Amino acid sequence: MTDFVTLAEDIAREAGEMILAKRPTNPEVVQTKSSPTDVVTALDRASEELIRARIRQARPDDMILGEEGGDTPGSSGVRWVVDPIDGTVNFLYGLPEWAVSIAVEVDGEIVAGVVNVVPRGELFSASLGGGAVLHKDGLALSRLRCNSGVPLGQALVATGFGYDAGRRGVQGSVVAAVLPAVRDIRRGGSCAIDLCSVAAGRVDAYYERGINYWDYAAAGLIAREAGARLGGLNGKGPNGELTLCAAPGLFEELHDLLAPLDPERDA
């Protein structure tokens, strides 16, 4: 697992450096996906192409699942899960909340995760059972621990919103009900960074509907290795319908606040 983490760190750093070097003053949208506001830039594609090439060079028999390129088969039992730029709209607008995310699965279980928050010079990494670490400007700063013992009423909660207007309307009603019950809400625009923020104690909790596996594969491991619980509603694992993350205790309080609001609906 250490080898997986080291390789993922090296690739994520190289991809981040390439993105910064090639980022034009005003990146252009080259494609939209689920809606006109769900965008892809040329550097999303270039980043994933670089990451795939480096993985194939080092481990040619591994599978790769990437946001832009889909699934590539392999025979080793190892699969890499890649989000080449998580927070593409932030990237498009020149906001700093975007990251390169790379996770490694072995026989269906995430064993390594790296999230490179390129504009901040911060790289988060974790291995299964090995803890989570924050690196700043190439140096390992500290082991990560999420905040514990925080009651719901004092919790700073991160969330995000979907691209479909109807879904955002529902999410607005949900967050309106959550806001009076917590300290405050934060909306950064990157699932991976929000989960790493839980791991680092920068927020106390996170929930969101509509995220994809590549959004949370790496950062979810980082949060869990920092002591957080990651899951869905009513005993389900993390999923696109709704994913929650917080320290044990706060996780259950947030879950019980959200569940009666039916946050998995779209209308």
The answer to whether 34 and 41 are in contact (CB under 8 A) is: no
Amino acid at 64: I
Catalytic member of 11, 55, 85, 222: 85
Interhelix angle 250-258/165-178, rounded to 10 degrees, is 120
The answer to whether 193 and 221 are in contact (CB under 8 A) is: no
b/e per residue 38-48 (b: at least 16 CB within 10 A): ebbbebbbbbb
184 is catalytic: no
Strand order in the sheet with 99-106: 70-72, 63-66, 78-86, 99-106, 109-117, 122-127, 131-136, 139-143
The answer to whether 100 and 85 are in contact (CB under 8 A) is: yes
Pairing state of beta strands 139-143 and 156-159? Answer: unpaired
Burial of 20 (0-12, 13-18, 19+ CB in 10 A): exposed
Catalytic member of 62, 83, 105, 208: 83
204 is catalytic: no
85 is catalytic: yes
The DSSP code for 43 is: H
Catalytic member of 48, 68, 208, 215: 215
83 is catalytic: yes
CA trace torsion 85, 124, 24, 187 (10° rounding):
70
Catalytic member of 9, 44, 48, 67: 67
215 is catalytic: yes
Q: Which residues are catalytic?
A: 67, 83, 85-86, 88, 215
